[in-house]
Amino acid sequence: PYTTLFRSLVAGPILRTADLVPQFQRPRTATRDQLCWGLALMTVGLFEKVVLADGAFAPVADAVFRVRHPVGALDAWLGTLAFSGQIFCDFAGYSTIAIGSAMCLGFNIPNNFRSPYAAAGFSDFWRRWHISLSTWLRDYLYIPLGGNRKGEARTYANLMTTMLLGGLWHGANWTFVIWGGLHGLFLAAERGLKRAALRWTFLSGLAFNALLVLVTYILVNVAWVLFRAKSLPAAISILGGMAGLHPSAAAVLPTVKILETVVCIAGLLSAQWYMRNRTLETVVTQTSPRLIATAWACMMFAIIITQGRGNAFIYFQF
């Protein structure tokens, strides 16, 4: 551009501004389809954030994790499951709003979540959860450390180092470090079991995959306790409740809230299982336009009528 500008000053012809601006810096104009998709994605993101994360899951998680006395198994598990739903809907909603906003301006941003709670194993989980961060950890930590190219012992050490640093990235607190360490152990154990299971041909089929998804989801929720708890003693107390060590603890959640939470968690998991190997674009193109319009209107109505505190996005603190 500077050479062209110099020549124009010497030779005399007048150049247009567009001639001096590289193509990728020129203004973008969203197409009609991009605008419609962008608005739809923003609606989905707001529904996840306002209705599900803040309205349905946050009150339950806060009620359980803020108590100072031990909690029973039912309260501990429901509070943890509610937080897992809250952090997903909060962060996935934030990402979906950002993707939709960018699309309204003519930009296409890759998806950041792909049904992570339907993951079959922890390597699959990290390919589906916070894809931008997991990709960065892989490309700039795991691979430069040697990845899986320098023997099994070095591979396990690289997995642990990467996940410990990933946990520390979230905050200088032992709970985050242990959370990252747990995921490192999960990934290392999964790798070792996969190598041993190459000889076990019976470990296949829909039933085994469903069991693997369930085990992955349970262990991910165990790790979420350390992510949510304010301190290590608080996390140990919740984990003790999940293990049934506090059978005489006073109830925290009322029956109505328990039922609401179970329905919301079941709905979230059902949706993720259905979308496990599908994309939103495929589902929309295969669905009746009337049904799509009805679902869109229902989400907008739920967003409008939901009354809450308007919590900030969880990941704004990291």
Residue 256: which of 119, 56, 115, 68 has the closest Cα?
56
Instruction: For residues 93 and 47, give the distance between their C-alpha atoms in angstroms, rounded to a whole number.
Output: 7
pLDDT at 85 over 80: yes
Q: What pLDDT is stored for residue 312 in this prediction?
A: 73
Residues 77, 140 contacting (CB under 8 angstroms): no
Query: Quick one: tokens of 141?
Result: 């930590």
Please give the model's pTM, rounded to 2 decimal places.
0.87
Q: 230 — phi, psi (to 5°)?
A: -75, -20
Average pLDDT, the chain: 88
Residues 271, 92 contacting (CB under 8 angstroms): no
CB atoms within 10 A of CB 160: 17
Choose between 283 and 201: higher pLDDT. Answer: 283
Catalytic residue set: 170
Mean pLDDT for the stretch of residues 257-264: 96
Cα 203 to Cα 191, 214, 306, 311: the distances in Å are 15, 15, 45, 44
Work out the pLDDT band at 314, boundaries 50, 70, 90: confident
Q: Which residues contact 116 (CB under 8 A, 6 or more apart)?
A: 88, 125, 128, 129, 272
Cα 54 to Cα 83, 85, 233, 309: the distances in Å are 11, 10, 26, 8
pLDDT tens per residue across span 166-219: 999 998 899 999 999 999 999 999 998 887 766 665 566 777 888 999 999 999
Q: What pLDDT is stored for residue 201 in this prediction?
A: 58
Instruction: For residues 243 and 292, give the distance between their C-alpha atoms in angstroms, rounded to a whole number.
Output: 43
Query: Where are the alpha helices (H) located in the chain, listed in sequence order?
Result: 2-11, 17-20, 32-46, 58-65, 73-104, 122-128, 131-137, 152-170, 174-196, 206-228, 232-242, 255-274, 280-285, 289-305
How far is the first Cα of the chain from the last one, in angstroms, to the nearest whole number?
Answer: 40
Query: Quick one: tokens of 55?
Result: 């309205």
Instruction: For residues 145 and 155, give the distance between their C-alpha atoms in angstroms, rounded to a whole number.
Output: 9
By the 10 Å C-beta count (0-12 exposed, 13-18 middle, 19+ buried), 54 is classed as buried
Which amino acid does the sequence have at 295? A
- Any idea which residue has 């599900």 for tokens? 52
Mean pLDDT for the stretch of residues 306-315: 72
pLDDT tens per residue across span 8-53: 333 444 444 444 455 446 677 888 999 999 999 999 999 999 999 9
Residue 88: which of 299, 264, 302 has the closest Cα?
264
Which amino acid does the sequence have at 174? W
